Each structure stands twice: as C-alpha cells, then as structure tokens.
Amino acid sequence: MVKQDRAVRTRQTILVAAAKVFEERGYQAATITEILATANVTKGALYFHFQSKDHLAEGVLAEQDQRLVIPARNSKVQEIVDTVVLHAYRLQTDPMVRAGVRLSLDQQASELDRSGPFLRWSDIVLDLLKEARGELLPHVVASETADVLVGSFAGVQAMSQIISGYQDLDQRVSQLLRHILPNVVLSSVLATVDMSPGRGALVYREAGGTARMEGPRPTVAAAS
C-alpha cells in the first residue's frame, strides 16, 4: 500500500510539472528534460508512468475532466450555468486545467487528438440541456445550443487568456451567458438564474473543491 501511494504521488508530481511546462511553453517547445527537472524525479520514474511526451500531454488533458459534482438545483438551467462558471473558476485558479485547455487549443500539437475535451464538454452540456427541456424555448435544438455554448466559451477563454491572463474570465463568461441564454431559456426561468461573475468561486466551495489552487496570475499569459 505504501508503494502504491508513493507511485500515485509520483505520478501526480510528474503531471503537475508537465502541466507547468506545457502551459508556459506550449506542446512543441516543451521537453522531457525540462519536465524532469521541474518534477525533480528520475527518468526511470517518469517513463514508468508515461511512455512519451504524447502520453504526458494526454494525461494533462484527462486531468481537466476530473469534474467536481455540482449540487442539485431547482433549475437545470442554473446547473448548466454552474457547470460553465465552475470551469471558468478552475481555469483562473488551477494550473492543471489551464495547461489542459492550452493543449486543447494548441495548433502545433498536431500529434495529439485535441477533439476529446471539446466533444466531452459538448456531451456534458447536451445532457444538461435535455434535462432542462421544460425550461427552454420551444425552438431550441439542444445539440446546436451545446456546440454554440462550448465553442463560444473556448473563444472567450482564449481572449481572456491573451488580454488579462484569465483575470477577467469570470466577467467575460457572465457576459457570454447573459447574451446567449435569453435566446434559449424561458424568461420566467431566466429571471431566477444567477449568472453573476463571482458565482464560480461559490460553486467551487459548495462542490467541496480542495486546493491544487493558486491565485489568478498577475501577468498576461502567452497565446496558445
């Protein structure tokens, strides 16, 4: 059990180091040597867990899917909002999530299958929209709305990264939701939904999030 626990900790140490290097340098410029130095582990330890840089990147991409459970709400639309704002909050505060998103949008990472995160997020939002059917306007096609919301979020977070290093992401996501949801949600439902910029932090605490966290970075991040 002790060996198993140590192996789990070593794997996580390597992933955190890889996330730091991928976020700072991008997929193409990142090297195994730099990741080894950042993780302070042996080459043997790294290759025991990850066979290549591709496998490391895939591990980082998978980490952003470790979803916290959103508390049940009376409104399914509120659950959709909470899912979106929680992801925005994690982008602001969790370097692993930032690295995963950077890899997803990194056009130089042609060796990776970068479609997975987009498809998974579309599926998550689609399932929530199907559950919220009675709260939506009659014309809504759930699959289209899911793709539009995920694609719009990707654009907004990329803009926030370049302009402010994610420090204004909560504001931008609130604006995005206030522009999209009136075209999708019944007005009587929308009047009860909280889309305020500070909601992501509240949902994170409610969901029992614990720290792999840091404050929003004070400098502008490099473009993906």
The last residue of one of the domains, among 16, 42, 63, is 63
* Whole-number pLDDT of residue 1: 63
| pLDDT surpasses 50 at 220 | no
Does one domain contain both 42 and 126? no
In the chain, the number of structural domains is 2
Threshold 0.85, pTM exceeds = no
Residues of the domain holding 105: 76-206
The total of other beta-carbon atoms located within 10 Å of residue 92's CB is 24
Backbone angles phi, psi at 136, to 5 degrees: -105, 155
> Is 207 within 8 Å of 70 (Cβ atoms)?
yes
Tokens (6 digits) for 47? 């290759």
CA–CA distance, 83 with 66 (Å, rounded to integer):
13
Tokens (6 digits) for 10? 């070593």
68 found inside a domain: no
CA–CA distance, 159 with 145 (Å, rounded to integer):
21
* Whole-number pLDDT of residue 117: 79
DSSP tally for the chain: helices H, then strands E = 11, 0
214 found inside a domain: no
The last residue of one of the domains, among 63, 84, 116, is 63
70 found inside a domain: no
* Whole-number pLDDT of residue 10: 93
Asked which of 42-46, 66-70, 90-94, 124-128 is least confident by mean pLDDT, the reply is 66-70
Q: What is the pLDDT of residues 43-89, one digit of tens each?
A: 999 999 999 999 999 888 887 665 678 889 999 999 999 999 999 99
151 found inside a domain: yes
- Residue 116 pLDDT class (50, 70, 90 cuts): confident
- Residue 210 pLDDT class (50, 70, 90 cuts): low
Beta strands in 104-166 (DSSP E): none
CA–CA distance, 86 with 91 (Å, rounded to integer):
9
